[in-house]
Amino acid sequence: PAAAVTHAAVQETLQLFRETCERLLREEPDPGPGKRNRVDFKAAKILKNRWLNTGERAVGTVPGVEVGDVFRYRIELCMVGIHRRVMAGIDFKRLSNGDVLATCIVSSGYYDDKDVGKGGCDDDVLIYCGEGGDPKNPCGNRVAADQKLKGANLALKRSMERKLPVRVVRGFRTTSQDRVISTYTYDGLYLVEKHWEVRGDNGYRVFKFQLRRIPGQPALSEVKRSRLEQAPIQYRCVDPDVSSGTERHPIRVMNAVNTTRPIGFSYTSRLRYPSWYNPSPPAGCGCIGGCAESSACACAAKNGGSFAYGVDGRLLETRPLVYECGPSCGCPPSCRNRASQSGVKVQLQVFNAGSRGWGVRSPNRIAAGAFVCEYVGEVITEREAGKRSNDEYLFDVGRNYGGGEACEDDSCFTIDAAEYGNVGRFINHSCSPNLYAQNVLFDHDDRRVPHVMLFALADIAAYEELAYDYNYRVDGVRDEDGELRRKYCYCGTFRCSGRMY
Ligand code: SAM
C-alpha cells in the first residue's frame, strides 16, 4: 500500500498550488472590471498529479490534514482530499450497498445566522442547513423548491444514525483593500446530533442539521482567526552555505519539512578532468578591451559570425554549441562573450522539493537568457559511467548537438556529480523546463567534452523551482541486461508525461 500522506506533503502541494496561482496571475492579462480570472481552477488542473488523498473518500480524519490548517482557495480542499465537491457544501460518499455517508461540510457561516448568533455558529455547535431548493441560497427565504431527503441531506442523516464523524471546514470572509477574501480553516470532527425541518419564508421545506464538535481535539480558539494570516509554509535555513564559501554568493539550504541537509558529496565549482586528459587551449581572438564588433572577432566567427550573448551577457538564443572567448584571447573577463565561464552570479538556494528530493530556486527573479550555473562534476568516460553504482547525477555530454554527435561510443564522456559537484547537481528535471543546458567551449576545443551551462529559458519568478529537461526518452533507458527501466516524474507541470524514462 502507498505510504500515508504527511502534513508536509499537504503543505507542499498547497505551496506549489499558490505559487502557480501567483505565476498565472502575473502572466495572464487582467480580464477586466467585474470579471475574475479563475487561476485557482487553472492551477489546480495544472497540478492534477499533485492532488493528495485521491482514493476512496475518507470518513473521519484525512491523512496529512490537521485541525487549524488554513486553506486560501476553496479548490485547495479538493486538492488535499478533505472536501471533494468543488462548489457544494456537503461532501458525501456512496457505499457499495447504495447507502450514503457524509464526509465533510464547508460552513461559510453566513447562511445560518438566524439560528445561532452571528456567523451561524458558536464554538462547538454548528447548525447547518440542507442542500437543494435554490442552489444559490438554500437557507434563505428565496428557496423555490422543497429540499429532499436524498444525496447529501440523507448522508448527514445516515452519519447521525451511525454516529460517524463528519469533518467541518469553516469559511471566513474578510475584506482587504476592497477585495473580499475567503479563507477556510479545518475545524476538526463533529457528530450530527439532530436534524429537523423548517418551512422557509416561501413555504418550502428546508432541512437543518445540528452538529457538535467531538471533544479532545485542539481548542478552536487556538486555531481560529489568528491562524488565518499565517504564512502557508515556513522554510528554515538548515545550512548557511552548501558551497562552504566556494561560490560568490552563499547557497543556503532551506527545509520546510525537517532539519536534514544534503550530505555525501564534496562541493567543487570546477570540472574535475581525469589526469590523462590534457586538451590544449584554443587559439584566441585579438580583440583589445572587449569583443564589441562581431565582424572583427575570431571567436564570433567560430559562432557563425555573431555573438550568442547580448551586451548584458544574456543568451540571445539557444545553439548547438557556443564558443566563448578563452585564456588566449586578448579581451578582459568582463567581455560579453564570457558570460558563463566565471561562475554563478545569481543567488541560489537548495531546498527540500518533496517527492523530487532536493531542488534549486532563487530568492530573486531571474531574467530570460541569464546564466544560472554550470553542471559541474567529475569528467569520466561513458564506459566508466556505466560502472558507477549511483547513476542519479550522470550527465552525458558531447551527444547533444541537435543531430550530429561529437563522439562515438568509446570516446564519449559523462559528467558525474555524485561525489564531486556544485549546485547544478541539485537541479531537477521538468517536462516544462525553465532552464536550458547549453553546450559551451572556452578553455579547450574538444567538442566531446563541452561545458554544460544552464541558462534561463524565460523570466523566472523568485522562488520558482529551476529545472531543465533531462532529455531522456520514455522507454529509452535499459539496464545492462537490456531490461527497460522506468523512472516516474513528479515535476507537476501540465505537460508532464508522468515518466522521466
Ligand atoms: N533531487 C536531486 C537530489 O535530491 O539530489 C537533485 C537532482 S539529481 C541530478 C537527479 C535525481 O533527482 C533523479 O535521479 C531523481 O531521483 C530526482 N529527480 C529529478 N527530477 C525529478 C522529477 N521531475 N521527478 C522525480 N524525481 C526527480
Q: List, for residues 252-279, the tens digit of each pLDDT value.
A: 999 888 889 999 999 999 999 999 999 9
351 - beta bridge partners? Answer: 254, 359
Q: What is the mean pLDDT of the chain?
A: 86
Q: Three cell numbers at 26?
A: 502575473
C-alpha 251 – ligand 1 centre gap (Å): 19
Q: Is the CB of 265 under 6 A from ligand 1?
A: no
C-alpha 427 – ligand 1 centre gap (Å): 7
Task: Determine the 3-state secondary structure of 79 from DSSP.
Answer: helix
> pLDDT for 205-233, tens place per residue?
889 999 999 988 876 555 443 333 333 45
If you count DSSP H runs as helices and E runs as strands, how many of each does the chain have, helices first?
Answer: 8, 22
More confident residue, 334 or 172: 334
Please state the rounded mean pLDDT for residues 412-419: 97
Axis-axis angle for helices 39-46, 7-27 (nearest 10)? 130
Query: With the C-alpha atoms ordered 217, 221, 222, 227, is the resulting torsion angle positive or negative?
Result: positive
Query: Atom 11 of ligand 1 has which residue's CA nearest to it?
Result: 392
Please give the backbone phi and psi of residue 295, each rounded to the nearest 5 degrees, phi first: -70, -20
Task: Determine the 3-state secondary structure of 8 from DSSP.
Answer: helix
Q: Is the CB of 322 under 6 A from ligand 1?
A: no
CB 24 within 8 A of CB 42: yes
More confident residue, 182 or 131: 131
Round to whole Å and give the CA distance between 317 and 327: 24
Round to whole Å and give the CA distance between 330 and 296: 13
Select from 428, 496, 501 the residue to mutate for testing ligand 1; criterion: most ligand atoms less than 8 Å from CB.
Answer: 428
**Residue 230: per-residue pLDDT:** 38
> pLDDT for 337-387, tens place per residue?
999 999 999 999 999 988 899 999 988 878 889 999 999 999 999 999 999
Type of residue at 286 = G
Round to whole Å and give the CA distance between 404 and 324: 21
> pLDDT for 423-472, tens place per residue?
999 999 998 889 999 999 999 999 999 999 999 988 787 778 999 999 99
Q: Three cell numbers at 195?
A: 436534524
Q: Three cell numbers at 496?
A: 508532464
C-alpha 111 – ligand 1 centre gap (Å): 48
More confident residue, 480 or 118: 480
Q: Which of 356, 354, 320 is nearest to 500 (CA)?
A: 356
Helix (H) or strand (E) holding 395: strand 394-397
Round to whole Å and give the CA distance between 102 and 95: 11
Query: Atom 3 of ligand 1 has which residue's CA nearest to it?
Result: 358
CB 66 within 8 A of CB 186: yes
Round to whole Å and give the CA distance between 371 and 379: 21
Quote the DSSP letter at residue 215.
T
Window from 334-338, 389-393, 397-401 with minimum mean pLDDT: 397-401
**Residue 365: per-residue pLDDT:** 79
Q: Is the pLDDT of residue 30 over 70?
A: yes
Instruction: Report ipTM for this prediction.
Output: 1.00
Atom of ligand 1 nearest to the CA of 467: 20
Atom of ligand 1 nearest to the CA of 392: 14
Please state the rounded mean pLDDT for residues 7-30: 85
Atom of ligand 1 nearest to the CA of 393: 9
Residues 6+ apart with CB under 8 A from 139: 111, 112, 129, 200, 206
Q: Is the pLDDT of residue 140 over 90?
A: no
Q: Is the CB of 499 under 6 A from ligand 1?
A: no
pLDDT band at residue 121 using 50, 70 and 90 as cut-offs: very low
Q: Is the CB of 490 under 6 A from ligand 1?
A: yes
Count the residues in the chain: 501
Checking phi first, is residue 356 left (phi over 0); if not, alpha (psi -120 to 50) or beta? alpha
**Residue 174: per-residue pLDDT:** 54
Select from 47, 263, 356, 434 the residue to mutate for testing ligand 1; criterion: most ligand atoms less than 8 Å from CB.
Answer: 356
pLDDT band at residue 180 using 50, 70 and 90 as cut-offs: low
Round to whole Å and give the CA distance between 37 and 49: 22
pTM: 0.60
**Residue 143: per-residue pLDDT:** 57
Rounded to a whole number of angstroms, the CA Rg of the chain reads: 29
* Neighbour order of strands in the sheet with 322-323: 322-323, 435-441, 451-456, 371-374
**Residue 134: per-residue pLDDT:** 57
Please give the backbone phi and psi of residue 177, each rounded to the nearest 5 degrees, phi first: 45, 50
CB 91 within 8 A of CB 107: no
C-alpha 323 – ligand 1 centre gap (Å): 29
Q: Is the pLDDT of residue 144 over 80?
A: no
Q: Which of 121, 136, 130 is nearest to 149 (CA)?
A: 130
Please state the rounded mean pLDDT for residues 103-122: 54
Q: What percent of the chain has pLDDT over 70?
A: 89
Could you tell me how far CA 455 lies from the centroid of its own chain?
20
